């Protein structure tokens, strides 16, 4: 794949305080560790990656202060949307006796949507490149370790239980260290466009690109996620079309040879993939694709709750208490509406709108940067419709990283 060379200049490094320099290396380390979601000191959603991010934030605060203008002129709209969402959740929680849950959720949301962009939005293209490589390398490294453990124990569910059921489920689905098969698939789908961009912009060699892509695609198969497989195909197509990529004949030939080898050799697929994905494709019946029916029932139930709690929600983390299914709906938009009322949903949609506005703000000649941003945001949007609250930091690192090249290019032109 090849496109016009994007803006990616090398800025001369200015002298920086020691604390800022040290914080940058901590941010690199935290970004590398981000995909190890289940690798954390306690049961709370506070990972070792989060711990390193906090240490970096402390250093930055004492060295020069955290940057507050990470989205440029759209930053106030981002902060306002966040405040509306959190405020609506607070009112709903206060009226329903869920203040404690609100405090916990607010800390998670603030760390993800306020602190994280302050740390990730750098001013140097060279530093962005290192952050992007650190993130992709961390995901690939996590997959390789998970493969190694999986193969060492022969894929035996009972022997892998010491890592918990989230690593490898009884149904044969692979959550690895991300901790959930669908979240695992989401991380892969948002990581792949960053990998495409790094290669298309000639920021990594082909020798690094192809093994990394192979590892990620294999891991996606092991997640057995229908949503993940479809999203990966859509985001790849979006990147190619929006980026004006020229697919070379040798790439098409390699793909055809790979498909032919699979058809001839018929290698065994993970049983979860065969049961959830391959069978649904074979019979062309979406209702046989995994947990579609149960999720649809949760969505129908949530619409009824939304009509009953249009403006004032039921409070944070109370959905599972009133649901006959005892679980939150796998749709972040509906969950926010039910728990925080319509204003919470409006705030959430406002934040998503800001990210898309940033993606479209770049001039037309920054096609590759726009392709990166929109393909990652498309994957994020798909999984926001298929997931509950999205305040784990791993959800937002890929979108924030994907927006940075556009912001850097715009800053260069201003």
First-to-last CA distance in the chain?
Answer: 30
Among candidate residues 50, 66, 82, the one where a domain is terminated: 66
Same domain, yes or no, for 228 and 267? yes
Same domain, yes or no, for 167 and 50? no
Same domain, yes or no, for 57 and 167? no
Same domain, yes or no, for 58 and 83? no
Among candidate residues 386, 373, 1, the one with its CA nearest the CA of residue 190: 373
Rounded to an integer, what distance in angstroms lies between the CA atom of residue 128 and that of residue 284? 43
Among candidate residues 341, 394, 403, 340, the one with its CA nearest the CA of residue 187: 394
Same domain, yes or no, for 297 and 161? yes
Q: Is residue 12 part of a domain?
A: no
Q: Is residue 245 part of a domain?
A: yes
Tokens coding 220? 């996606």
| pLDDT (0 to 100) of residue 399 | 97
Same domain, yes or no, for 95 and 242? yes
What would you measure as the largest C-alpha separation in the chain, in angstroms? 63
User: Domain containing 214: what range?
Assistant: 67-118+132-413
Same domain, yes or no, for 155 and 30? no
Q: Is residue 3 part of a domain?
A: no
Q: Is residue 214 part of a domain?
A: yes
Q: Is residue 126 part of a domain?
A: no
> Which stretches of 111-179 are DSSP H helices?
116-120, 125-152
For residue 319, CA distances in Å to 100, 105, 252, 348 come to 15, 14, 48, 18
Among candidate residues 304, 308, 204, 214, the one with its CA nearest the CA of residue 255: 214
Positive or negative torsion for Cα 23, 27, 33, 38? positive
pLDDT single digits (tens) 121-134: 888 899 999 999 99
Residue with tokens 């939005």: 121
Same domain, yes or no, for 310 and 389? yes
Q: Is residue 11 part of a domain?
A: no
Q: Is residue 49 part of a domain?
A: yes
Tokens coding 153? 């124990």
Rounded to an integer, what distance in angstroms lies between the CA atom of residue 217 and that of residue 236? 12
User: Residue 414, SS3?
Assistant: coil
Same domain, yes or no, for 156 and 45? no
Inter-helix orientation angle 393-413/342-361, to 10°: 40
Same domain, yes or no, for 136 and 212? yes
Among candidate residues 346, 286, 359, 351, the one with its CA nearest the CA of residue 311: 346
Inter-helix orientation angle 393-413/181-200, to 10°: 20
Among candidate residues 51, 66, 81, the one where a domain is terminated: 66
Inter-residue contact 407 to 354 (CB < 8 Å): no
Rounded to an integer, what distance in angstroms lies between the CA atom of residue 186 and that of residue 180? 10
Same domain, yes or no, for 62 and 173? no
Same domain, yes or no, for 54 and 73? no
Rounded to an integer, what distance in angstroms lies between the CA atom of residue 147 and that of residue 150? 5
Rounded to an integer, what distance in angstroms lies between the CA atom of residue 35 and that of residue 24? 19
For the chain, which ranges sit under pLDDT 70?
A: 1-17, 19, 247-252, 254-255, 258-294, 362-365, 413-414
**φ, ψ of residue 168 in degrees (nearest 5):** -145, 115
How many domains is the chain built from?
Answer: 2
Rounded to an integer, what distance in angstroms lies between the CA atom of residue 304 and that of residue 400? 34
Q: Is residue 327 part of a domain?
A: yes
């Amino acid at each position: 794949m090849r496109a016009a060379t994007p803006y990616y200049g090398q800025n001369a490094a200015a002298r920086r305080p020691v604390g800022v320099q040290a914080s940058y290396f901590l941010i690199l380390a935290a970004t590398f560790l981000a995909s190890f979601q289940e690798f954390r000191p306690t049961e709370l959603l506070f990972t070792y990656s989060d711990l390193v991010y906090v240490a970096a934030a402390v250093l930055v605060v004492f060295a020069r202060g955290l940057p507050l203008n990470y989205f440029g002129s759209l930053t106030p709209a981002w902060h306002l949307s966040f405040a509306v969402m959190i405020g609506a959740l607070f009112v709903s929680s206060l009226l329903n006796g869920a203040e404690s849950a609100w405090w916990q959720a607010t800390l998670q949301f603030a760390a993800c949507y306020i602190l994280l962009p302050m740390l990730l939005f750098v001013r140097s293209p060279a530093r962005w490149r290192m952050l992007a490589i650190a993130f992709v390398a961390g995901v690939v490294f996590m997959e390789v370790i998970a493969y190694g453990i999986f193969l060492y124990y022969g894929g035996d569910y009972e022997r892998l239980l010491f890592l918990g059921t989230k690593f490898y489920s009884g149904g044969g689905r692979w959550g690895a260290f991300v901790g959930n098969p669908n979240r695992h698939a989401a991380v892969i789908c948002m990581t792949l466009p960053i990998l495409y961009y790094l290669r298309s912009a000639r920021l990594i060699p082909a020798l690094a690109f192809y093994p990394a892509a192979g590892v990620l695609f294999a891991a996606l198969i092991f997640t057995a996620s229908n949503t993940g497989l479809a999203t990966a195909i859509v985001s790849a197509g979006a990147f190619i079309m929006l980026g004006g990529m020229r697919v070379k004949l040798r790439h098409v030939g390699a793909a055809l040879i790979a498909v032919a080898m699979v058809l001839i050799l018929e290698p065994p697929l993970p049983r979860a993939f065969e049961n959830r994905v391959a069978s649904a494709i074979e019979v062309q019946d979406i209702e046989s694709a995994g947990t579609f029916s149960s999720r649809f029932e949760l969505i129908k139930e949530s619409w009824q709750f939304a009509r009953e709690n249009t403006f004032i929600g039921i409070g944070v983390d109370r959905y599972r208490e009133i649901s006959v299914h005892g679980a939150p709906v796998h749709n972040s938009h509906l969950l926010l509406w039910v728990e925080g009322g319509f204003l919470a949903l409006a705030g959430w949609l406002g934040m998503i709108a800001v990210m898309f506005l940033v993606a479209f703000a770049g001039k037309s000649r920054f096609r590759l940067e726009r392709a990166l941003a929109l393909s990652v945001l498309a994957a994020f949007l798909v999984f926001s419709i298929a997931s509950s609250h999205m305040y784990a930091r791993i959800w937002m690192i890929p979108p924030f990283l994907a927006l940075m090249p556009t912001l850097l290019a715009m800053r260069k032109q201003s």
